[in-house]
Amino acid sequence: MSSARSVHRAAWRARRGGAALLAACGLLLVGCSSGGGPQAPAGGRPAPRSTAGDSVTPGSAAPTALRPLPAATPAALLPYYRQKLAWHACDGSFECATFRVPLDYARPGAGDLTLTAARKKATGAGHARVGSLLLNPGGPGGSAVSYLEGVAGTFAAPVRAAYDLVGFDPRGVGRSSPVQCLAGPRMDAYAAADTTPDTPAEVDALVRLDREFAAGCEQRSGRSLPHVGTVDAARDMDVLRALLGDAKLHYLGKSYGTYLGAVYAGLFPGRVGRMVLDGALDPSLDARRAALGQASGFETAWSSFARDCVTHADCPFGRTTAAAGRSLDALLRSIDRKPLPAGGGRRLTEALATTGVIQAMYADFLWPQLRTAAKDAQRGDGKALMALADAYYERRSDGGYDNLMYANMAVNCLDMSAPFPGPQQVAAAVPAFVRASPHFGRAMAWMSLTCAYWPVKSVGGPRTVTAAGAPPIVVVGTTRDPATPYAWARSLAAQLSSGRLVTFRGDGHTAYGNRSDCVDTAVNTYLLEGQAPPEDKTCAS
């Protein structure tokens, strides 16, 4: 839901990438947990070009209600619902299959897209089979196939016994007709662009790169760009539900995956089974209010990091939380004036350094790495902060980039109108962003500009989702979640007619999966027995 360089993308990245960074200094953050459990991939990338908010403000769009689709499947779509999945062994102990969906649901005869799914079959050990559990790690743009393969073995044994675990890459993502935009060197330039411009020339340079990104997506993926939105992805998910032989959709979505799940519930409330939405987005927010909310969320996460940092002897930011904030600002200003060498002829710019810090806010197990990276940067070495930024952007060692960032922008810009029509409006909004986040607000305001130049008109907007008639839907919120602030989980749970809120008092992005026995027990009991947790259940870290 966030726009350019958006935050929502990265829950699973934060976790998968975080673990990889700790182990091999290589990947980024998308939604991994310290234990590598079911939360490992999730989804919610900040708006190094993003969006956020809380209440309706002058000039913002009022949400509309998402209406369910007719109960009967239209005749033109029946061939898609009657396909047969041909599973084959893939990627070790998993099975993969492809299936077709219409490029345009309004014109099913106008062409198809091919999507890829993977599954780990239920073990059947000691628990009756419930059905398939579809997983989505977030993004938008996170590969659910990769997520499944990374975390299938970390689910509790009874869950693995009762469910076939299934991940499919949504349209435009990973192995499902992926969106492509820029070659590696040009993506390097985009990621390094100054997002705290001080002069008209720096503003113009940022605008040129935003335009180049959008034009690259149109040139390389123009056919699919109008059709990669969340509503279409939710309809694809219903096709897959039918092909798996399930009357009801059982689903675990993290970060952006909560939005995908909520949209599905709004469209098909009668087909909802056991649904868990962890690290929730608030569908009633427009892009600008979402960006502001995310800025505030990362400020909350920074404050928590700073309180912890000053208790460690190796904290490079000082001995008090106030000193930590001043030290961070000084470091970023210094890098803005003189980017740091980061190995391989690359230079760490202020924007990349900020992204590295943001990356570490997704999970507290990355905090020690940030302390080391910041100390190195203060000494003139940018390699460690660059590694965090590369993980965030999923930049590979060969200089190329995975598809996540391209899909992220394509989905966000289609789902939601641009938060700002141009640089003048961004500049006017900067004071509000700085109030929401003194350390990241200015950058996050300018990161929200890319969708202003998107080649395809947005088709979505803020909406409330009630899913009237659906069984209980469990919404999980973390009180100091940086990418999907806790207020969003409360709002989504209140919107859903059958929402049940589980609160995790802790740090990091998303909660289910080896972070809290209390959260895991509540979710697993629901998945296995259909018994939803009591209203407003709270779990401590």
Question: Cα–Cα distance between 445 and 295 in angstroms, integer?
Answer: 9
Residue with tokens 């993977």: 118
One of 284, 507, 509, 516 is an active-site residue; which one? 509
Spatial contact of 170 and 403, defined as CB atoms under 8 Å apart = no
pLDDT, position 5: 53
Burial degree of 180 (CB within 10 A; 0-12, 13-18, 19+): middle
One of 50, 221, 224, 255 is an active-site residue; which one? 255
pLDDT, position 127: 86
Spatial contact of 485 and 296, defined as CB atoms under 8 Å apart = yes
Spatial contact of 342 and 348, defined as CB atoms under 8 Å apart = yes
Question: How far apart, in Å, are the Cα atoms of 289 and each of 10, 388, 414?
Answer: 19, 27, 17
One of 481, 491, 498, 520 is an active-site residue; which one? 481
Dihedral sign (CA 317, 506, 499, 154): positive
Spatial contact of 270 and 23, defined as CB atoms under 8 Å apart = no
pLDDT, position 62: 83
Spatial contact of 454 and 434, defined as CB atoms under 8 Å apart = no
Question: Cα–Cα distance between 152 and 137 in angstroms, integer?
Answer: 12
pLDDT, position 28: 25
Residues in the chain: 541
Q: How far is CA 92 from the centre of its chain?
A: 27
**Closest by Cα among 175, 189, 215, 188 to 395:** 188
For residue 475, the tally of other CB atoms under 10 A from its CB is: 27
pLDDT, position 60: 60
Please name every residue paired with 463 in a beta bridge, in sequence order, or none if there are none. 64
Low-confidence ranges of the chain (pLDDT < 70): 1-61
Spatial contact of 460 and 140, defined as CB atoms under 8 Å apart = no
* Residue 255 annotated as catalytic: yes
pLDDT, position 151: 97
Residue with tokens 């192995």: 175
**Closest by Cα among 125, 121, 103 to 172:** 103
pLDDT, position 530: 97
Considering all CA atoms of the chain, what is the largest pairwise distance in Å, rounded to the nearest integer? 67
Q: How far is CA 73 from the centre of its chain?
A: 30
Residue with tokens 């209140």: 494
* Residue 481 annotated as catalytic: yes
pLDDT, position 126: 84
pLDDT digits (tens, 9 = 90+) for 279-310: 999 999 999 999 999 999 999 999 999 999 99
Burial degree of 254 (CB within 10 A; 0-12, 13-18, 19+): buried
